[in-house]
Amino acid sequence: MKDKLHIVVIGGGFAGLNFVKRLYRNKFYDITVVDRNNYNYFTPLLYQVATSFLEPSSISYPFRRLFRRKNVAFRMATVNDVDTAGKRLHLGDGSELTYDILVFAAGSKTNFFGNENIRQHSFSLKGIDDALFLRNELLKNLEKASLETDPEARRRMLTVVIAGGGPTGVEVAGMLAETKKYILGNDYPTLAKAPVNIHVIDGAPNLLAPMSAKTHVAAFKTLNKLGVHVKLNTQVKDFRNGSVELSDGTAIEAGTLIWAAGVVANSFNGIAPESIGRGKRMITDAFNKVKGYTDIFAIGDISIQFTDDRYPDGHPQVAQPAIQQGKTLAKNLLRLAKGKPMQPFRYFDRGDMAIIGRQFAVADLFRHKLHLGGLIGLLGWLFIHVMSLVNYNNKIKTLYNWAVAYATRDQALRLIFRPGNRENRG
């Protein structure tokens, strides 16, 4: 009997994990997942970790536990480069890994658009490490502000600018506004009457730009009601010496800049330049096969397809296309193994959702044909996000944390951890 082909998957996010789950215990392929982390995490809820409303373990789960008895191998490593001729990967730990079929599912990273000041001094939110770092810094800033006697210095410390009015920016702003309203004065009595300013800056004419007109209006009104300052048709151009410089020539003195203004695909040495398209995404055909290769595929944020006439500029870099591409490619490789033709990918848009604060969410479902807001939108958002978590353990933890936060308007997760500080053992 012929040996199984070896599929190597780079990345265990939405695309990679949904691809692998459809190949559990299959009889045609051996699977190895390579990821720089030893856990999967739920990206849409990172902002709740960063704002102390969820703990990291609520939205993350170890790969080795997920893949136990599933006939899937796991390697915790980074990929330095790809030898496409020799069908091998050179990993960051100095080892090599050979493949018969390679699947890129490594997602995207924050796009700072070449601005080194912003890259060095702002906070991004693309992983658990980012979320914990931001949480630590926000809390440390409050500790410093509680002791500051200079009103102007305190005002600057308590000013947060969020660049980007998409889901991440809007949701972070909402949670910070909730903290300001219900928690700040209780935890920090000296800051009870201190001015806390939260700004959302976006270059588009509306918040949550890809969503419906009703959502644009609802998001703006809700943030405004929560005391968030929203400035549209304006871009953050630089961040120097505690000053956020805007494209209209004005500036905001701020202690914190959170950058949520765009992403770019992760890239890998060894892939031909002609296979790379806009945003460093790999150009793929209708079956997610990378241009110029017969044994390399790309799914999720790292892929761009021009074969779907409803999305001539490629699919949006959000969770649903990644999930659906992962599932479709797995089915296609099983079809291929059985001698059947592959089927082209067609994206089914289930809609977009965002939550603003603790009591309001918006949802545009089925290509914006159905708009939900208020309590119904909130319940829909809660249901979709809980059901999307990878494990029952995550679902239970998250529901519990949300119930506590909703009932008490508080959450006892405002802890500053310093993983770099270790006792000197001599």
CATH number of the structural domain spanning residue 227:
3.50.50.100
- In this structure, the answer to whether residues 92 and 196 fall within a common structural domain is no
Question: Buried b / exposed e across 170-191, counting CB within 10 Å, b at 16+?
Answer: bbbbbbbbbbbeebbeeeeeeb
Q: Is 401 inside any structural domain? A: no
Task: Give the per-residue pLDDT at 1.
Answer: 40
CB atoms within 10 A of CB 229: 15
Q: Which of 62, 14, 54 is nearest to 396 (CA)?
A: 54
- In this structure, the answer to whether residues 105 and 162 fall within a common structural domain is no
Q: What is the percent of the chain with per-residue pLDDT over 90, rounded to a whole number?
A: 77
Q: Give dist(CA 42, CA 58) in Å, integer.
A: 9
Task: Give the per-residue pLDDT at 399.
Answer: 86
Q: Is 384 inside any structural domain? A: no
Q: Give dist(CA 355, CA 245) in Å, integer.
A: 28
Just list the catalytic residues: 171
- Pick the last residue of a domain from 212, 242, 261: 261
pLDDT of 253 over the 80 cut: yes
- In this structure, the answer to whether residues 257 and 120 fall within a common structural domain is yes
Task: Give the per-residue pLDDT at 426.
Answer: 44
In this structure, are residues 90 and 99 in contact, taking their beta carbons and an 8 Å threshold?
Answer: no
In tens, the pLDDT along 192-201 reads 999 999 999 9
pLDDT of 420 over the 70 cut: no
pLDDT classification of 5: cutoffs 50, 70, 90: very high
In this structure, are residues 51 and 410 in contact, taking their beta carbons and an 8 Å threshold?
Answer: no
- In this structure, the answer to whether residues 99 and 157 fall within a common structural domain is no
Q: Is 225 inside any structural domain? A: yes
3-state secondary structure of 357: coil
In tens, the pLDDT along 360-374 reads 888 888 666 778 887
HSE (side-chain half, CA atoms, 13 Å) at 97: 27
Task: Give the per-residue pLDDT at 357.
Answer: 80
Q: Which H or E run includes 104?
A: strand 101-104
- Bridge partners of 362, per DSSP, are 354
Least confident of 54-68, 176-190, 379-393: 379-393
- In this structure, the answer to whether residues 298 and 161 fall within a common structural domain is no
In tens, the pLDDT along 269-296 reads 999 999 999 999 999 999 999 999 999 9
Computed over every residue of the chain, the mean pLDDT equals 92
Task: Give the per-residue pLDDT at 2.
Answer: 56
Q: Give dist(CA 232, CA 165) in Å, integer.
A: 8
Task: Give the per-residue pLDDT at 345.
Answer: 97
The owner of tokens 């296309």 is 321
Question: Buried b / exposed e across 90-100, counting CB within 10 Å, b at 16+?
Answer: bbeeeeebebe
**What's the average model confidence in pLDDT over 338-346?**
96
pLDDT classification of 402: cutoffs 50, 70, 90: confident
The owner of tokens 């802890």 is 415
In tens, the pLDDT along 303-341 reads 999 998 889 999 999 999 999 999 999 999 999 999 999
- In this structure, the answer to whether residues 164 and 191 fall within a common structural domain is yes
Question: Buried b / exposed e across 370-405, counting CB within 10 Å, b at 16+?
Answer: ebbbeeebbebbbebbeebbbeeebbebbeebbeeb
- In this structure, the answer to whether residues 178 and 239 fall within a common structural domain is yes
Task: Give the per-residue pLDDT at 423.
Answer: 55
Q: Give dist(CA 2, CA 261) in Å, integer.
A: 49
**What's the average model confidence in pLDDT over 168-175?**
95
Q: Which amino acid is at 322?
A: A
Q: Which H or E run includes 40?
A: strand 39-41
- In this structure, the answer to whether residues 215 and 251 fall within a common structural domain is yes
- Pick the last residue of a domain from 261, 285, 317: 261
Q: Is 403 inside any structural domain? A: no
pLDDT of 189 over the 80 cut: yes
Q: Is 93 inside any structural domain? A: yes
- Pick the last residue of a domain from 206, 226, 261: 261
pLDDT of 425 over the 50 cut: no
**What's the average model confidence in pLDDT over 30-38?**
98
- In this structure, the answer to whether residues 247 and 292 fall within a common structural domain is no
Q: Which two tokens stand for residue 74?
A: 């796991």
pLDDT of 134 over the 50 cut: yes
Domain holding 193, by residue range, is 116-261
Task: Give the per-residue pLDDT at 109.
Answer: 96
Q: Is 422 inside any structural domain? A: no
Q: Give dist(CA 284, CA 105) in Å, integer.
A: 13
Q: Which amino acid is at 15?
A: A
Q: Is 379 inside any structural domain? A: no
- In this structure, the answer to whether residues 233 and 267 fall within a common structural domain is no
Q: Is 18 inside any structural domain? A: yes
In tens, the pLDDT along 95-130 reads 999 999 999 999 999 999 999 999 999 999 999 999
Backbone angles phi, psi at 284, to 5 degrees: -125, 160
Rounded (5°) CA angle 248-108-235: 5
Q: Which of 355, 353, 386 is nearest to 174 (CA)?
A: 355
- In this structure, the answer to whether residues 155 and 217 fall within a common structural domain is yes
- Helix, strand, coil shares of the chain, percent, nearest 5, are 35, 25, 40
Inter-CA distances, 351 with 142, 190, 292, 321, 322, Å: 37, 44, 33, 11, 14
- In this structure, the answer to whether residues 268 and 314 fall within a common structural domain is yes
By DSSP bridging, strand 88-91 and strand 96-98 are antiparallel
Task: Give the per-residue pLDDT at 419.
Answer: 67
In tens, the pLDDT along 58-87 reads 999 999 999 999 999 999 999 999 999 999
Domain count, the chain: 2
pLDDT classification of 93: cutoffs 50, 70, 90: very high
Q: Give dist(CA 247, CA 58) in Å, integer.
A: 39
**What's the average model confidence in pLDDT over 338-351?**
93
- Bridge partners of 327, per DSSP, are none
CATH number of the structural domain spanning residue 325:
3.50.50.60
